[in-house]
């Protein structure tokens, strides 16, 4: 992995952490591990509560979509902040 790729990844993570704080999902970047753990448990419970022989794949896709929606919201907020700072 190149240094540019690593620094880009670090920047995106920092932007997402900042977005979590600014959107009121957490109080500080130090709370990210707890937030991630709770989010994982929430998605597990969501999947577990909806499991049947017919909708295992559907539930997993819904959970992945929900995670992607949260990440998209964080990235959107971070992009808006970058635009405002220019």
pTM for the model: 0.54
Question: Which residue's structure tokens are 């919201």?
Answer: 73
| The predicted structure's pLDDT at residue 78 | 82
| The predicted structure's pLDDT at residue 11 | 83
What does the block give as tokens for 61? 């896709």
pLDDT beneath 50, residues of the chain: 53
Per-domain boundaries in the chain: 3-85
What does the block give as tokens for 23? 């959107």
Q: Are 71 and 16 in contact (CB under 8 A)?
A: yes
What does the block give as tokens for 1? 């992995």
């Amino acid at each position: 992995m190149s240094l540019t790729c690593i620094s880009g990844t670090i920047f995106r993570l920092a932007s997402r952490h900042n977005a979590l704080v600014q959107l009121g999902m957490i109080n500080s970047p130090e709370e990210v591990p707890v937030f991630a753990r709770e989010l994982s448990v929430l998605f597990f419970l969501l999947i577990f509560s909806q499991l049947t022989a017919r909708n295992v794949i559907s539930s997993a896709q819904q959970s992945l979509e929900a995670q992607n929606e949260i990440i998209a919201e964080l990235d959107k907020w971070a992009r808006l902040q970058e635009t405002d700072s220019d």
